[in-house]
Amino acid sequence: MYFTNLLTISYVAIVALVSSLASAAPILPRDVYVPPILYPKAGTVWHVGQRHNVTWDVSNPPVNITNSRGAIYLRNTTHFFQDIPLATGFDILLGRFEVTVPDVTGTDIRVVLFGDSGNWSPEFTIKP
């Protein structure tokens, strides 16, 4: 019984892996797109619970974008592995997305914008 379940799980995992590889396979040449973050910038101060528009430059996108779904994370420079998601699944070509400042404070905070790969803002401050 245990063995059967294990086989079923492995099968499901393999099918999921294969189909994700298939859907990720590029059909046409695509361009990696990492637009520069305009806001927040160095010297910006946010307060916990406020809402702000994270903005980025979309003036010069490539014709074919590999991943047009954007994601915004908050990153503390000394604990970069503890990224906090602020927003995911929006259109990277919007150029801005309104987020709520989570309950983290520090002077070494960065916003990371993901399209194809991450692009960091300069360090800024979040106060209580």
Ligand X SMILES: *[C@@H]1O[C@H](CO)[C@@H](O)[C@H](O)[C@H]1NC(C)=O
**Which residues of this chain interact with ligand X, rule CB under 6 A?**
28-29, 51-53, 63-64, 76, 78-79, 96, 98, 106-108
H or E element that contains 53:
strand 51-56
Q: Report, in Å, the least distance between residue 21 CB and ligand X.
A: 21
What 3-state DSSP class applies to 77? Answer: helix
- Residue 69: partners with Cβ closer than 8 Å, 6 or more residues away: 88, 89, 90, 91, 92, 115
Rounded Cα distance between 17 and 39, Å, is 37
Angle (nearest 5°) at CA 19 between 94 and 35: 20
Length of the chain: 128
Q: Report, in Å, the least distance between residue 70 CB and ligand X.
A: 15
Q: Which is nearer to ligand X, 106 or 118 (CB)?
A: 106
Q: Which is nearer to ligand X, 4 or 78 (CB)?
A: 78
Q: Report, in Å, the least distance between residue 30 CB and ligand X.
A: 7
Q: Report, in Å, the least distance between residue 77 CB and ligand X.
A: 7
Q: Which is nearer to ligand X, 15 or 41 (CB)?
A: 41
The CB-nearest residue to ligand X is 106
